[in-house]
Amino acid sequence: MTTLSTKPPSGTRDFLPEDIRKRQYVTGVIREVYESYGYEPLETPAFENIETLLGKYGDEGNKLIFKILKRGEHEQTGQADLALRYDLTVPLARVVAQYQNALPKFFKRYQIQPVWRADRPARGRFREFYQCDVDAIGSTSPIVEAEQLAAMATVLERLAFTDAVIQLNHRALLTALIDVAGIPRALEGEALVALDKLDKIGRDGVVSEMSARGFPATAGPALLDLVASSDASQGGSEAAGGNDWVLERLERSVAGHETGARALQDLKDILRLVAGTAAAARVNLAPSLARGLSYYTGAIMEATVEGIGSLGGGGRYDGLIGMFLGRDVPACGFSLGLERILVVMSERDQFPPDVSSGAVDILVTLWDATTAQHALRLAADLRAGGLRVEVYPEADKLGKQFKYAAGRNVAFVAIEGDEERTGGTVAIKDLRSGEQTAVARNEAAAFVAQRLHSRPRH
């Protein structure tokens, strides 16, 4: 009838039920945690007017934006007037401008929605993927950073990333270190981009990149020395370690540098505030953390897991959110790498068992179409008892129905023949053990529920 491909478009995915259950579990935890911190949900349209997006992501970004043809007779001209959302930050900036009088003075929002980028698809890189952003608008207080670090730590904990740490640094501190190293201010952006690659290309790689970009010969090594000397994870010294140790080193490095001193005070404030929160044991000062993007203006943070890398990050960016208002608006936020988190959680088996259990708790069997109304009544009763119930829709051999249930990872089947009906019971078979029990009908739901919840964790 047709020879069309039925695959989803290149770089996109269909999410089948078991995928969605995992995704919903993760986003459910994230929502719950963010809401407990007073963040509120926001959603914006999939597409924006094209002028809203063009020019916001640089030349490279402009090319990666999916553009939508004008409708009607304009279709012929090839003119585009709309474009698919490229990130969640520009839409937030638009919302902040559009609803400035309706939004609270301190607007704390989270947004979990897909974005689209016409990148070349590759392993782990998609053209449609979810972003998961949390941002606090309207305050420069370090309480914002501290609460975000706590929220990030709580999410990681709830998702069983017991080994995750959060690296914390400050853009103004990096500015100071760059100054002290003798790198001209005009090269600051390039210094950050190079430093951002330290994990990937190592010290020598960063130094030669800096030389290639025309940095003064001693400046690159000087910056790397400054960073390394205060980096607990790179110190190698027995005495190295702990945020106080790092602070002490940094204080020496930026002594007398006004911007550096202010940044250090900021970090100290944040660390003091974090002490009573879920993030207390997870936040490590990391002077080498640069984060590539140019728009950060204050603290920067990144959640990492040894051997895995980054699970997300962010920081303060006081100059961006006001882009449509024409004035600076304080903002601090971070983004979790939802797709990455899902991959790692699957690999490391971090989902609770009920997330990967079957679609339903019990299958009501049917082997005689003339008694189907009883099967539906039984299903209704089991649902009223809180169970997720599927009714096998066609009269068939019981063995076949058991096999169907097992294939769908359903643990229990209910069998109600004439005999059971007369006696007011129902036979419940546990497909994992093979055990079959006659249970009073009005106790059947509780019987199954109790056994479901006592399932061994895998």
Rounded to whole angstroms, the Cα distance separating 11 from 33 reads 30
Neighbouring residues of 162: CB distance < 8 A, sequence distance ≥ 6: none
User: Residue from 158, 262, 388, 421 that binds its own copies (CB under 8 A)?
Assistant: 388
Q: Is 4 or 122 the residue whose CB approaches its own copies more closely?
A: 4
Binding map of its own copies across residues 126-165, x = CB under 8 A, - = no contact = --x-------x--x-xxxx-xx--x---------------
User: Residue for token digits 């207080």?
Assistant: 141
Nearest distance in Å: CB 406, its own copies: 12
Q: Is 161 or 392 the residue whose CB approaches its own copies more closely?
A: 392
Integer CA distances (angstroms), 86 to 99, 310, 386, in order: 21, 21, 41
450 Ramachandran zone, left/alpha/beta (phi>0; psi -120 to 50): alpha
Rounded to whole angstroms, the Cα distance separating 112 from 312 reads 14
Nearest distance in Å: CB 422, its own copies: 17
138 Ramachandran zone, left/alpha/beta (phi>0; psi -120 to 50): left
Q: How many Cβ atoms from other residues are within 10 Å of residue 166's Cβ?
A: 24
User: Residue from 59, 60, 71, 256 that binds its own copies (CB under 8 A)?
Assistant: 71
Nearest distance in Å: CB 439, its own copies: 19
Rounded to whole angstroms, the Cα distance separating 336 from 356 reads 23
Q: Which two tokens stand for residue 293?
A: 């993007």
Give the amino acid at 300: I
Is residue 38 within the footprint of its own copies (CB under 8 A)? yes
Integer CA distances (angstroms), 389 to 288, 443, 446, in order: 54, 15, 13
User: Residue from 27, 57, 61, 80 that binds its own copies (CB under 8 A)?
Assistant: 80
Number of residues that bind its own copies (CB under 8 A): 111
Is residue 283 within the footprint of its own copies (CB under 8 A)? no
Is residue 17 within the footprint of its own copies (CB under 8 A)? yes
Is residue 422 within the footprint of its own copies (CB under 8 A)? no
Is residue 52 within the footprint of its own copies (CB under 8 A)? yes
Is residue 421 within the footprint of its own copies (CB under 8 A)? no
Q: Scanning residues 100 to 119, which ones bind its own copies (CB under 8 A)?
A: 102-106, 108-109, 114, 116, 118
Name the pairing type of β-strands 436-440 and 412-415.
Answer: unpaired
User: Residue from 25, 66, 317, 334 that binds its own copies (CB under 8 A)?
Assistant: 66
Q: Is 370 or 456 the residue whose CB approaches its own copies more closely?
A: 370
Q: Scanning residues 349 to 378, which ones bind its own copies (CB under 8 A)?
A: 359-360, 366, 369, 372-377
User: Residue from 25, 26, 30, 42 that binds its own copies (CB under 8 A)?
Assistant: 42
Q: Is 7 or 123 the residue whose CB approaches its own copies more closely?
A: 7
Is residue 43 within the footprint of its own copies (CB under 8 A)? yes
Q: Scanning residues 171 to 230, which ones bind its own copies (CB under 8 A)?
A: none
Nearest distance in Å: CB 272, its own copies: 5
CB 210 within 8 A of CB 191: yes
Q: Scanning residues 317 to 336, which ones bind its own copies (CB under 8 A)?
A: 323-327
Angle at 372 between CA 425 and CA 356, to 5 degrees: 75
Nearest distance in Å: CB 127, its own copies: 8
b/e string for 419-436 if b means 16 or more Cβ within 10 A?
A: ebeeeebbbbbebeeeee
Is residue 7 within the footprint of its own copies (CB under 8 A)? yes
CB 404 within 8 A of CB 367: no
Is residue 415 within the footprint of its own copies (CB under 8 A)? no
